[in-house]
Amino acid sequence: QVHLVESGGGLVQAGGSLSLSCAASEGTFSRYAMGWFRQVPGKERRFVAYINWNSITYYEDSVRGRFTISRDDAKNTVYLQMNSLKPEDTAVYYCAAEYGNSLYLHEDEYSYWGQGTQVTVSS
């Protein structure tokens, strides 16, 4: 069982930056692929970014070049640095973990989820 806790959400003006963190309880964190997803009310949860245990990354098209996912296996933590934020980035952001190293882009491929953190970007 992996317990994930996100932090770092908040309110920011358009064009600003926020950094999200996701701390994992699992001691074998380094063997997990990690993902970030986001969800707005009434919509399904959507993929944002992915990183595997070799730190190979993948991004959804609308965030590529603005968001950066990274991981620190010594701290069992994955990060999402969000720059040039837009009002349409407003959502609850979730981190997710799945044991393995495949390219996991869909929420049903992940076994473990955090509770989510709200990101609000004002115009």
pLDDT in tens, 102-123: 999 999 999 999 999 999 999 9
Whether the per-residue pLDDT at 26 is higher than 90: the answer is: no
Give the contacts of 50 (CB within 8 A, at least 6 positions apart).
33, 34, 35, 36, 57, 58, 59, 69, 103, 104, 105
Residue-wise pLDDT for 67-94, tens only, equals 999 999 999 999 999 999 999 999 999 9
Looking at residue 24, its pLDDT comes to: 95
Strands 77-82 and 18-24: antiparallel
Q: What pLDDT does residue 28 have?
A: 85
